[in-house]
Amino acid sequence: MTTQNISNRKDAHLSRCLLPDMRGSGSTLPNIHLPYEADFPISDTALDTSTSIADRQLAFPLIIGCMTGGTPAATEFNETLRQIAGEFGIGLGLGSIRACLENAALLPTYGTTSTHWLFGNIGISEIMHERHTPDTVRAMLQKLGCHGLYIHFNMIQEWLQPEGDHDLYTDLDILNRFINHLDMPVILKEVGSGIGGKCAQRLAKLNIRGIETASQNGTSWIRIEASRRSPTLDPLFTHALDQIGIPLERAIRDCRQALGKRTVIASGGIEDPLTLVKCLACGADAVSIAQPIYAAYKSGGTQAARRWIHDLIQTSRLIWRSTGSKNISTLRQVIL
């Protein structure tokens, strides 16, 4: 695929991901109930929201999820995200770096401002077909200012893409060899169907720093890619594919059990501060949110995106304090 085709696909993704029928109903973890301590025994200054992800400290357990790059339309947005991540001491995942691996002229579309926690992102198809050596990927990550790499599993998305890899599967030996030779922290993730069960147990045997759940009910890349097909897929078939996967609460618990003390990042349809705090109480080390931040940016630019993240953090802190928990460790002990 040419880099122009990749850029065109990225533009299509950006335009479609905000359409109301391209997103699930959101994740709220209705079965999780937090205690409410009316006297608020923890002051705001005493609350410790810090967390360590892949040996780097975040001031608050939030990562701006992997979204876009490789198209000029993403340049200003990615620069904004880098600045906001640095301002709030939170993490940032870049969109797939495949485009700039194939055309270095697209590197600026991922932003240039340095930030404290920055991970690149690449699809499992690139690893399985060994299109880029670990040395090449590492060099590009360093040019981008990244501290590690996300590798995303997107088999259903690839199958649906007209230009996708329609017979994609994972050879764990190839994957682990790439990870070992990369010699940078690696976090594995899905793109909207979740990771859990026996898969989480298999992946935990690899030399990884953690897993991001990327569960159901967020942006549906199944719906987006199905809408790009010509002819489009029967809506009943799209719906069937959209229903399979691992719900968020189960994914968090499965990944925590499989990984032990390694990192679990919760993501997939998280849109509000209560769900964020619930995810941490369930065992996540951090939460990743993407589309709502892009929606805020599109509605009001940099200031709107900054305000959305600021309000999310401040409201989450209030809910966190209402449980009587001083930090993540004590928060995990309060689920009713």
Output the pTM of the full model: 0.95
- Kindly list the distances between the CA atom of residue 304 and the CA atoms of 288, 293, 295, 298, in Å, as whole numbers in the listed order: 18, 9, 9, 8
Q: Residue 206's domain spans which residues? A: 3-12+36-331
Q: Is residue 149 part of a domain?
A: yes
Q: Is residue 278 part of a domain?
A: yes
User: Under a CB-based contact definition with an 8 Å cutoff, are residues 324 and 41 in contact?
Assistant: yes
Q: Is residue 24 part of a domain?
A: no
Give the pLDDT score at 232. Answer: 86
Residue 194 pLDDT > 90, yes or no? yes
Confidence band, pLDDT 50/70/90 cuts, at residue 20: confident
Q: Is residue 55 part of a domain?
A: yes
Q: Is residue 100 part of a domain?
A: yes
Q: Is residue 156 part of a domain?
A: yes
Nearest to 62 by CA among 323, 277, 250: 277
Q: Is residue 225 part of a domain?
A: yes
Supply 108's token pair.
Answer: 């600026």
Which amino acid is present at 39?
A: D
Confidence band, pLDDT 50/70/90 cuts, at residue 5: low
pLDDT tens string 61-115: 999 999 999 999 899 999 999 999 999 999 999 999 999 999 999 999 999 999 9
What's the mean per-residue pLDDT of the chain? Answer: 94
Residue 291 pLDDT > 60, yes or no? yes
Supply 208's token pair.
Answer: 């990884």
Give the pLDDT score at 336. Answer: 65
Count of domains for the chain? 1
Give the pLDDT score at 191. Answer: 96
Mean pLDDT of 122-132: 96
Q: Is residue 48 part of a domain?
A: yes
Element (H, E) at 74: none
CATH at 288: 3.20.20.70
Q: Which stretches of 118-172 are assigned E, i.e. beta strand?
A: 118-123, 148-152
